[in-house]
């Protein structure tokens, strides 16, 4: 099993998510829960399409972190 990082952003109409390791793998949703469900499905679909095209799925390599900075 592979574990891919996805990034969620708030938009004017809800939420959007993307997977840095899977170029073009994106999803949207009205709520955070909905976008999380959609991005998991998008990842599965994206990987299935890659397999059908004979393309090896990239190994997950993206990491994330937070930086604490003084409040102004």
**What are 7-40's pLDDT values in tens digits?**
999 999 999 999 999 999 999 999 999 999 999 9
In which band, very low, low, confident or very high, does the pLDDT at 72 lie, cut at 50, 70 and 90? confident
By DSSP bridging, strand 15-18 and strand 7-10 are: antiparallel
| CA separation for the pair 28, 18 (Å, rounded) | 9
Give the residue extent of every domain in the chain. Answer: 7-52
For residue 8, what are the β-bridge partners? Answer: 17
pLDDT at 1 exceeding the cut of 90? no
Mean pLDDT score of the chain, rounded to an integer? 97
- CATH assignment of 7-52, among 3.40.50.720, 3.30.160.250, 3.20.20.140, 1.10.150.20: 3.30.160.250
């Amino acid at each position: 099993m592979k574990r891919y990082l996805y990034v969620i952003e708030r938009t004017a109409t809800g939420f959007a998510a993307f997977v840095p390791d899977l170029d073009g793998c994106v999803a949207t949703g009205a709520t955070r829960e909905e976008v999380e469900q959609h991005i998991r499905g998008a990842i599965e679909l994206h990987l299935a399409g890659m397999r059908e095209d004979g393309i090896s799925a990239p190994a997950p390599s993206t990491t994330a972190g937070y930086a604490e900075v003084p409040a102004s």
